[in-house]
Protein backbone atom coordinates (compact mmCIF):
# COMPACT_ATOMS: atom_id res chain seq x y z
CA UNK A 1 0.00 0.00 0.00
CA UNK A 2 0.97 3.63 -0.33
CA UNK A 3 1.88 3.79 3.39
CA UNK A 4 3.43 0.34 3.77
CA UNK A 5 0.66 -1.12 5.90
CA UNK A 6 -1.43 -3.06 3.39
CA UNK A 7 -2.54 -6.65 4.02
CA UNK A 8 -2.70 -6.35 7.80
CA UNK A 9 -5.56 -8.85 7.94
CA UNK A 10 -5.05 -9.55 11.64
CA UNK A 11 -6.04 -5.98 12.37
CA UNK A 12 -9.44 -6.15 10.72
CA UNK A 13 -12.15 -5.44 13.29
CA UNK A 14 -14.73 -8.21 13.47
CA UNK A 15 -16.49 -7.05 16.63
CA UNK A 16 -16.75 -3.29 16.90
CA UNK A 17 -18.48 -3.65 20.30
CA UNK A 18 -15.68 -5.80 21.71
CA UNK A 19 -14.14 -4.70 25.01
CA UNK A 20 -10.79 -6.13 23.86
CA UNK A 21 -8.24 -3.67 22.52
CA UNK A 22 -5.59 -4.96 20.16
CA UNK A 23 -1.92 -4.04 20.41
CA UNK A 24 -2.53 -1.79 17.39
CA UNK A 25 -4.99 0.25 19.49
CA UNK A 26 -8.19 -0.82 17.74
CA UNK A 27 -11.08 -2.58 19.48
CA UNK A 28 -12.21 -6.00 18.26
CA UNK A 29 -9.42 -6.94 15.83
CA UNK A 30 -9.31 -10.62 14.99
CA UNK A 31 -5.81 -10.72 16.48
CA UNK A 32 -7.08 -9.37 19.81
CA UNK A 33 -9.83 -11.98 19.88
CA UNK A 34 -8.32 -15.12 18.34
CA UNK A 35 -4.54 -15.09 18.82
CA UNK A 36 -3.10 -16.92 21.84
CA UNK A 37 -3.20 -13.93 24.20
CA UNK A 38 -6.80 -13.28 23.15
CA UNK A 39 -7.82 -16.85 23.98
CA UNK A 40 -6.17 -16.55 27.39
CA UNK A 41 -7.77 -13.19 28.12
CA UNK A 42 -11.25 -14.38 27.13
CA UNK A 43 -10.90 -17.56 29.23
CA UNK A 44 -9.70 -15.58 32.25
CA UNK A 45 -12.51 -13.02 31.95
CA UNK A 46 -15.14 -15.76 31.57
CA UNK A 47 -13.89 -17.53 34.70
CA UNK A 48 -13.66 -14.27 36.65
CA UNK A 49 -17.24 -13.35 35.68
CA UNK A 50 -18.64 -16.81 36.40
CA UNK A 51 -17.12 -17.60 39.81
CA UNK A 52 -19.18 -20.71 40.45
CA UNK A 53 -18.48 -22.42 37.12
CA UNK A 54 -16.19 -25.39 37.66
CA UNK A 55 -13.21 -25.61 35.35
CA UNK A 56 -10.05 -27.63 35.00
CA UNK A 57 -8.41 -24.30 34.20
CA UNK A 58 -9.06 -23.20 37.79
CA UNK A 59 -7.52 -26.44 39.07
CA UNK A 60 -4.49 -26.32 36.76
CA UNK A 61 -3.68 -22.74 37.82
CA UNK A 62 -4.68 -23.21 41.48
CA UNK A 63 -7.20 -20.42 40.84
CA UNK A 64 -4.44 -18.01 39.70
CA UNK A 65 -6.15 -17.32 36.39
CA UNK A 66 -3.29 -15.12 35.17
CA UNK A 67 -1.33 -18.38 34.74
CA UNK A 68 -3.64 -19.70 32.00
CA UNK A 69 -1.84 -20.46 28.73
CA UNK A 70 -3.16 -21.35 25.28
CA UNK A 71 -1.71 -24.85 25.79
CA UNK A 72 -3.74 -25.24 28.99
CA UNK A 73 -6.89 -24.24 27.14
CA UNK A 74 -6.15 -26.83 24.46
CA UNK A 75 -5.34 -29.58 26.99
CA UNK A 76 -8.30 -28.94 29.27
CA UNK A 77 -10.68 -28.80 26.30
CA UNK A 78 -9.40 -32.25 25.24
CA UNK A 79 -10.06 -33.39 28.83
CA UNK A 80 -13.68 -32.21 28.56
CA UNK A 81 -13.56 -28.80 30.27
CA UNK A 82 -16.65 -26.86 29.17
CA UNK A 83 -15.08 -23.41 29.58
CA UNK A 84 -12.05 -24.35 27.48
CA UNK A 85 -14.28 -25.97 24.84
CA UNK A 86 -16.42 -22.81 24.74
CA UNK A 87 -13.33 -20.61 24.25
CA UNK A 88 -12.08 -22.80 21.40
CA UNK A 89 -15.53 -22.90 19.79
CA UNK A 90 -15.88 -19.12 20.08
CA UNK A 91 -12.39 -18.67 18.62
CA UNK A 92 -13.33 -20.90 15.69
CA UNK A 93 -16.43 -18.77 15.16
CA UNK A 94 -14.42 -15.53 15.20
CA UNK A 95 -11.86 -16.95 12.79
CA UNK A 96 -14.59 -18.39 10.56
CA UNK A 97 -16.43 -15.07 10.33
CA UNK A 98 -13.18 -13.22 9.60
CA UNK A 99 -11.99 -15.77 7.04
CA UNK A 100 -15.40 -15.65 5.35
CA UNK A 101 -14.88 -11.93 4.83
CA UNK A 102 -11.36 -12.58 3.53
CA UNK A 103 -12.78 -15.15 1.10
CA UNK A 104 -15.34 -12.61 -0.10
CA UNK A 105 -12.61 -10.03 -0.55
CA UNK A 106 -9.74 -12.13 -1.94
CA UNK A 107 -11.19 -15.43 -3.25
CA UNK A 108 -8.03 -17.34 -2.24
CA UNK A 109 -6.97 -20.75 -3.58
CA UNK A 110 -6.35 -21.93 0.00
CA UNK A 111 -6.17 -20.63 3.57
CA UNK A 112 -3.14 -21.47 5.70
CA UNK A 113 -3.44 -20.99 9.45
CA UNK A 114 -0.27 -20.84 11.53
CA UNK A 115 0.79 -19.67 14.95
CA UNK A 116 0.23 -21.39 18.25
CA UNK A 117 -3.55 -21.38 17.88
CA UNK A 118 -3.27 -23.71 14.88
CA UNK A 119 -2.06 -26.43 17.27
CA UNK A 120 -5.61 -26.76 18.60
CA UNK A 121 -6.39 -28.62 15.41
CA UNK A 122 -9.64 -30.39 14.59
CA UNK A 123 -12.12 -28.73 17.00
CA UNK A 124 -10.96 -25.27 15.93
CA UNK A 125 -10.80 -26.08 12.22
CA UNK A 126 -14.20 -27.79 12.31
CA UNK A 127 -15.82 -24.66 13.78
CA UNK A 128 -14.06 -22.45 11.22
CA UNK A 129 -15.34 -24.63 8.36
CA UNK A 130 -18.84 -24.66 9.84
CA UNK A 131 -18.91 -20.86 10.19
CA UNK A 132 -17.44 -19.68 6.88
CA UNK A 133 -20.41 -20.46 4.59
CA UNK A 134 -22.73 -18.33 6.74
CA UNK A 135 -20.63 -15.15 6.44
CA UNK A 136 -19.42 -15.00 2.83
CA UNK A 137 -20.99 -14.11 -0.46
CA UNK A 138 -19.01 -16.95 -2.06
CA UNK A 139 -20.71 -19.82 -0.17
CA UNK A 140 -20.46 -22.33 -3.01
CA UNK A 141 -16.75 -21.69 -3.53
CA UNK A 142 -15.91 -21.07 0.13
CA UNK A 143 -16.81 -24.59 1.21
CA UNK A 144 -14.32 -25.89 -1.34
CA UNK A 145 -11.48 -23.62 -0.19
CA UNK A 146 -8.90 -25.78 1.60
CA UNK A 147 -8.04 -24.71 5.15
CA UNK A 148 -4.57 -25.95 6.00
CA UNK A 149 -2.27 -25.87 9.01
CA UNK A 150 1.02 -24.08 8.40
CA UNK A 151 3.90 -26.55 8.54
CA UNK A 152 5.88 -24.13 10.72
CA UNK A 153 2.94 -23.69 13.14
CA UNK A 154 3.93 -21.33 15.95
CA UNK A 155 7.38 -20.68 14.45
CA UNK A 156 5.94 -19.11 11.30
CA UNK A 157 6.52 -15.57 12.61
CA UNK A 158 10.13 -16.28 13.53
CA UNK A 159 10.89 -17.67 10.07
CA UNK A 160 9.06 -14.78 8.44
CA UNK A 161 11.11 -12.25 10.38
CA UNK A 162 14.33 -14.09 9.52
CA UNK A 163 13.35 -14.10 5.85
CA UNK A 164 13.28 -10.30 5.91
CA UNK A 165 17.02 -10.34 6.58
CA UNK A 166 17.76 -12.64 3.66
CA UNK A 167 18.86 -10.85 0.47
CA UNK A 168 16.09 -10.58 -2.11
CA UNK A 169 16.00 -13.39 -4.63
CA UNK A 170 18.30 -15.77 -2.76
CA UNK A 171 15.71 -18.53 -2.44
CA UNK A 172 14.66 -18.21 -6.08
CA UNK A 173 18.26 -18.60 -7.19
CA UNK A 174 18.65 -21.87 -5.24
CA UNK A 175 15.46 -23.18 -6.80
pLDDT tens, position by position, 132-157:
999 999 899 999 999 999 887 666 66
- Of the candidates 62, 22, 15, 13, which has an alpha carbon nearest to the alpha carbon of residue 41? 22
Collapsed DSSP state (helix, strand, coil) of residue 64: coil
- For the cut 50, the answer to whether the pLDDT of residue 173 exceeds it is no
The residues, ordered by sequence, that sit 6+ positions from 58 with a Cβ below 8 Å of its Cβ are 47, 65
Buried b (16+ CB within 10 A) or exposed e, 66-86: eebbbebbbebbeeebebbbb
List pLDDT tens digits, range 102-134: 999 999 999 999 888 888 999 999 999 999 999
- For the cut 80, the answer to whether the pLDDT of residue 52 exceeds it is yes
Collapsed DSSP state (helix, strand, coil) of residue 89: helix
Amino acid sequence: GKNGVAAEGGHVTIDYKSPYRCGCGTLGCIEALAAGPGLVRRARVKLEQEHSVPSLLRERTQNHLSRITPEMIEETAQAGDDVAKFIIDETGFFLGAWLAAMISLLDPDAIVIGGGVSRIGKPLFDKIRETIPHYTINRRFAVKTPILTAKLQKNVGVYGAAALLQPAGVEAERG
